[in-house]
Structure 1
Amino acid sequence: MSVLSNEPAATVADASVSASGRAASKTRLRLWLRILKTSRLIESEVREKLRQEFDSTLPRFDVMAALYRAEAGLRMSDLSSELRVSNGNVTGIVDRLVSDGLIVRVPVDNDRRAMIVRLTNSGRELFQRMAAKHESWVNEILGGLSAAEATRLMATLEAAVRRLEGKESE
């Protein structure tokens, strides 16, 4: 029996664990909602700045970023996979970037149906300007965090990402 009640000690302990488990669950739920809100606010600010300063969109920026990292270009299917969007979504963005002269489509030698897309020189130059501005915007948006706070938050979020991706053992 528990000293504080007539309940068996195991029941009191179970209730305590259950209550602390519920509290932790609520805290994690609030954390998830806070992460979503923070992400939405940052993304909204970046979207608006891209529109105002470059007459561009975040999806266009993301496509250009992926192609900037892959200097030789990417197959359309690989680009879709990297961005985690459908081929149809990427095709529309690529069509507009091609018409703007920022990327080119190049046929794959051994596959008539496949195309590689890559940035043109002007696309590469524009992306470099956009990326520099993007970095300054994010720095401004998150400027209220000290370097130490940002480092701790990054470590915590990285640990969460590793667990979610099943890479905790790495």
Structure 2
Amino acid sequence: MTSADPTPLSEPTSKTRLRLWLKLLKATRLVEADLRENLRTEFGTTLPRFDVMAALSQYADGLKMSELSGLLRVSNGNVTGIVERLVEDGFALREAVPGDRRASRVRLTRKGAEEFARQASEHEHWVDELLGALGPEEATGMTEQLDRILREGAQ
């Protein structure tokens, strides 16, 4: 054990993994806070709004509101207000779903797609800067390890 690393070598694996989780959480919160602030100051928008636009950008034909909320893992209520504001701003279009009077499909307009592309480019740049301490090999290795956790956790 060194002064820079207070972890005793004999520490149980469960404690080591708990420490890893806490560091992952802290790092995630740090990155997320910076992204939220950058989106707010540079684009006058929010991270949830960016997330909705990101999801919609992957589906040219749009998504039903229930599909969108499921994809984002949030309630329909959380998505509804964001979608309404995107529609008001001309970034999204809400259309009725044939055969289902209660459902609506949402998709980005051309204006919305262009705005999202602008935001996504800056978002990528910010993430690159925030994770710049990692070399490409380290980033790839960590991504592979996190993918492994996700695969094994989904079983």
TM-score by length of 1: 0.84
Determine if the alignment matches structure 1 residue 60 to structure 2 residue 58: no
- Matching residue within 85, 97, 106 for 1:108: 97
Q: How far does residue 151 in structure 1 lie from its aligned partner after superposition?
A: 1.1
Shift of 1:163: 1.0
Q: 1:161 — aligned with what? A: 150
Instruction: Tell me the CA shift for residue 22 of structure 1.
Output: 6.2
In the TM superposition, what are the counterparts of 1:3-152 in structure 2 within 5 Å? 23-152=12-141
RMSD: 1.3
Cα distance between partner residues in 2 of 1:39 and 1:70? 27
- TM-score by structure 2 length? 0.92
Stretches of structure 1 that go unaligned for 5 or more consecutive residues are: 1-19
SS of aligned partner of 1:85:
coil
Q: How many Å apart are 1:155 and its aligned residue?
A: 1.1
Q: CA deviation at 1:69?
A: 0.2
Q: Which structure exhibits the higher relative contact order, with contacts defined as CA atoms closer than 8 Å and separated by 6 or more residues? A: 2
Identity of aligned residues (%): 56
SS at structure 2 position matched to 1:47 = helix
Give, as a single letter, the amino acid of the residue that structure 2 aligns with 1:149: E
Stretches (4+) displaced over 2 A: none
